[in-house]
Amino acid sequence: MASSTALICDSEAWKDLKGHVEDIKKTHLRDLMSDANRCESMMVEIDGLLLDYSRQSATVETMDKLLNLAKAAQLTEKISRMYRGEHINSTENRSVLHVALRAPKDAVIKADGKNVVPEVWNVLDKIKEFSEKVRSGSWVGATGKPLKDVIAIGIGGSFLGPLFVHTAIQTDPEALECAKGRQLRFLANIDPVDVARNINGLNPETTLVVVVSKTFTTAETMLNARTLREWITAALGASAVAKHMVAVSTNLALVEKFGIDPNNAFAFWDWVGGRYSVCSAVGVLPLSLQYGFSVVEKFLQGASSIDQHFLSTPFEKNIPVLLGLLSVWNVSFLGYPARAILPYSQALEKFAPHIQQVSMESNGKGVSIDGLPLPFETGEIDFGEPGTNGQHSFYQLIHQGRVIPCDFIGIVKSQQPVYLKGEVVSNHDELMSNFFAQPDALAYGKTPEQLQKENVSENLIPHKTFSGNRPSLSLLLPELNAYSVGQLLAIYEHRVAVQGFVWGINSFDQWGVELGKVLATQVRKQLHSSRTQGTDLEGFNFSTTTLLKRYLQ
């Protein structure tokens, strides 16, 4: 592109792809899938993890054009600027260095001229030591009892990533063994029901509360932290906070002000975005308390292996780059506004909610990184459910309604295999039969001619016809353990970055969440004065005033 303020849609590469759309729209996936050479060229493997994108509405020519688009967007330079610690989050004047959180000890990654890897490892070593003390029972609560249960308080990026990883590994045999006798719970919502559910059945004497907040100002997290502080001190006295509450934050001054001993605070840095923070103490501390540091270290290593792959693999074989480019193709050229994330794995039930934040908070933007209004849409609506549950819910729309590109994620080896005597296949094979069948059902569909041959009555033929030609991709992981969960996380994080780099937006700020917070502050103030002094509501429109009055009655 000519200058930093040029929009990618003005590039020749973008226009070339626009022109190519009609060719692709004429082509059915049924025909594309019959070309074995094309399909073979659309498979990429790393570390046993296989990506098959042959069911995307794309030809070899499309891929060449997308690689040209990557060039026009200066993707290589943008990726290396990220790894070099340049302030690519320009609206907040920050580096974007979540890759440093999982870098090996001897790596050198600089932010503002300083190698941050030693600081990262200081905190990791501190987590290792602390979690070992808690897990071994040498760190005890106020009444001398070991702390076997943990409630991690946090919301958004201080919650979704850790919950996803916890849910994904909790039935992995190794992690399961390490977590014996321990519980990890997550308190996110300010709804008091969430507090009640979290403390239900727990004893403050044996509970450790981890307050996780990058800013340590988030209204929901701080009120939940005060609520659990009250739960602990009411039962055990004010001094119990020192033994029962620890914190993870970039704002250590506020941690201390809250009453948590700075020695019991685990730092991270402003070059870690909230939604990219699961590999910092945000995730590593609660997960190490539950599973032990050595399990969590494998998760970091898995993520790091993808960081290396992303940085050094040519784009034609670079999984996050290919996925990112295909998403841009689907959104900006084929006009598909959504993406379904469909893991055939119950352990990945919290993956889609996590990726929703990573993707939608990152790429749901209306202006370019230079502040120019964008004449095209960015981001996509991410949603998903594990298969096969989703099949019995929203797949109808995906098969015969709107076209929604799907990510199918499957696992070769189950964490918890079950083989029943007399059954045709194992339970995992039954699950995976669906994983293999659905992408072809979407791609090929079913024609009226096929239905006629099956003697389907004429009046039902339109209802039973599947147009097909619905794109998907398949990711097949050898197994789901801490390492591969790290890989999966990093693939999706980098894919989102690739999309943002190509669209020319800032994927690392989130100004769009601020306005609602400001308005909630105004409501909070007036709820307070109305309840305590009976003052009239002021400054709201008719609708909000009516609703508030009803609420206050």
Q: Rounded CA gap, 148 and 298, in Å?
A: 23
- Among the listed residues 213, 345, 363, 368, the single contact to ligand F6P using CB under 6 A: 213
Q: Does 221 bind ligand F6P (CB under 6 A)?
A: yes
Q: Does 91 bind ligand F6P (CB under 6 A)?
A: no
Residue (57 or 510) nearer to ligand F6P, CB: 510
- Stretch of residues binding ligand F6P (CB under 6 A), selected from 21-29, 211-219, 239-247, 332-340: 211-219
Q: Does 324 bind ligand F6P (CB under 6 A)?
A: no
Cβ 148 to ligand F6P, closest distance in Å? 26
Q: Does 469 bind ligand F6P (CB under 6 A)?
A: no
- What the block records as the tokens of 107 is 């790596």
Q: Does 399 bind ligand F6P (CB under 6 A)?
A: no
Q: Rounded CA gap, 152 and 158, in Å?
A: 9
**What 3-state class would DSSP assign to 288?**
helix
In DSSP terms, which residues pair with 150 in a beta bridge? 184, 208
Q: Does 102 bind ligand F6P (CB under 6 A)?
A: no
Cβ 212 to ligand F6P, closest distance in Å? 7
Q: Does 189 bind ligand F6P (CB under 6 A)?
A: no
Residue (251 or 330) nearer to ligand F6P, CB: 251
Nearest to 259 by CA among 284, 282, 290, 228: 228
- Residue 43 φ/ψ, nearest 5 degrees: -120, 135
Residue (214 or 244) nearer to ligand F6P, CB: 214
Q: Does 218 bind ligand F6P (CB under 6 A)?
A: yes
Q: Rounded CA gap, 153 and 162, in Å?
A: 11
Q: What is the DSSP letter of 90?
A: T
Residue (221 or 332) nearer to ligand F6P, CB: 221
Q: Rounded CA gap, 548 and 90, in Å?
A: 39
> Each residue of 239-262: b (16+ CB within 10 Å) or e?
ebbebbbbbbbbbeebbeebebee
Q: Does 379 bind ligand F6P (CB under 6 A)?
A: no
Cβ 117 to ligand F6P, closest distance in Å? 23
Residue (510 or 526) nearer to ligand F6P, CB: 510
Residues 488-517 contacting ligand F6P, CB under 6 A: 510, 513
Q: Rounded CA gap, 323 and 59, in Å?
A: 15
| Count of residues of this chain found to bind ligand F6P when the rule CB under 6 A is applied | 14
What is the helix (H) or strand (E) element at residue 503, kind and residue range? helix 482-503
Q: Does 274 bind ligand F6P (CB under 6 A)?
A: yes
Active-site residue flag, 361? yes
Residue (359 or 469) nearer to ligand F6P, CB: 359
Annotate 164-187 with DSSP letters as a single string.
HHHHHHTTSHHHHHHTTT-EEEEE
Q: Rounded CA gap, 309 and 426, in Å?
A: 34
Residue (144 or 516) nearer to ligand F6P, CB: 516
Q: Please pick, among 133, 392, 528, 549, the residue that the annotation labels catalytic.
A: 392
Residue (172 or 361) nearer to ligand F6P, CB: 361
| Integer CA distances (angstroms), 419 to 347, 426, 427, 457, in order | 19, 5, 6, 40
Cβ 68 to ligand F6P, closest distance in Å? 34
Q: Please pick, among 145, 413, 517, 528, the residue that the annotation labels catalytic.
A: 517
- Among the listed residues 20, 98, 102, 214, the single contact to ligand F6P using CB under 6 A: 214
- Stretch of residues binding ligand F6P (CB under 6 A), selected from 33-41, 186-194, 212-220, 292-300: 212-220
Q: Mask 342-371, x = binds ligand F6P (CB under 6 A)?
A: -------------------x----------
Check: CB of residue 383 under 8 Å from CB of residue 201: no
Cβ 158 to ligand F6P, closest distance in Å? 4
Cβ 214 to ligand F6P, closest distance in Å? 4
Cβ 248 to ligand F6P, closest distance in Å? 9
Q: Give the list of residues 6+ apart from residue 500 with CB closer than 8 angstroms, or none.
A: 362, 363, 365, 378, 506, 507, 508
Check: CB of residue 137 under 8 Å from CB of residue 257: no
Residue (51 or 267) nearer to ligand F6P, CB: 267
Q: Rounded CA gap, 18 and 224, in Å?
A: 50
- Burial level of 143, CB count in 10 A (0-12/13-18/19+)? middle
Annotate 60-88 with DSSP letters as a single string.
HHHHHHHHHHHHHTTHHHHHHHHHTT---
Whether the upstream peptide bond of residue 388 has omega within 30° of 0, thus cis, is: yes
Cβ 104 to ligand F6P, closest distance in Å? 26
Residues 241-260 contacting ligand F6P, CB under 6 A: none
Q: Rounded CA gap, 303 and 307, in Å?
A: 6
Active-site residue flag, 392? yes
Q: Does 155 bind ligand F6P (CB under 6 A)?
A: yes
Residue (336 or 508) nearer to ligand F6P, CB: 508
Check: CB of residue 289 under 8 Å from CB of residue 208: yes
Q: Please pick, among 205, 220, 297, 361, the residue that the annotation labels catalytic.
A: 361
Nearest to 280 by CA among 308, 255, 247: 247
Q: Does 156 bind ligand F6P (CB under 6 A)?
A: yes
Q: Does 284 bind ligand F6P (CB under 6 A)?
A: no
Q: Does 131 bind ligand F6P (CB under 6 A)?
A: no
**What 3-state class would DSSP assign to 43?**
strand
Active-site residue flag, 205? no
> Each residue of 510-545: b (16+ CB within 10 Å) or e?
beeeeeeeeeeeeeeebeeebeeeeeebeebeeeee
Q: Does 275 bind ligand F6P (CB under 6 A)?
A: yes
Residue (142 or 505) nearer to ligand F6P, CB: 505
Q: Does 89 bind ligand F6P (CB under 6 A)?
A: no
Q: Does 215 bind ligand F6P (CB under 6 A)?
A: yes
Residues of the shown chain interacting with ligand F6P in the complex, contacts defined by CB under 6 A: 155-158, 213-215, 218, 221, 274-275, 361, 510, 513
Active site residues: 361, 392, 517
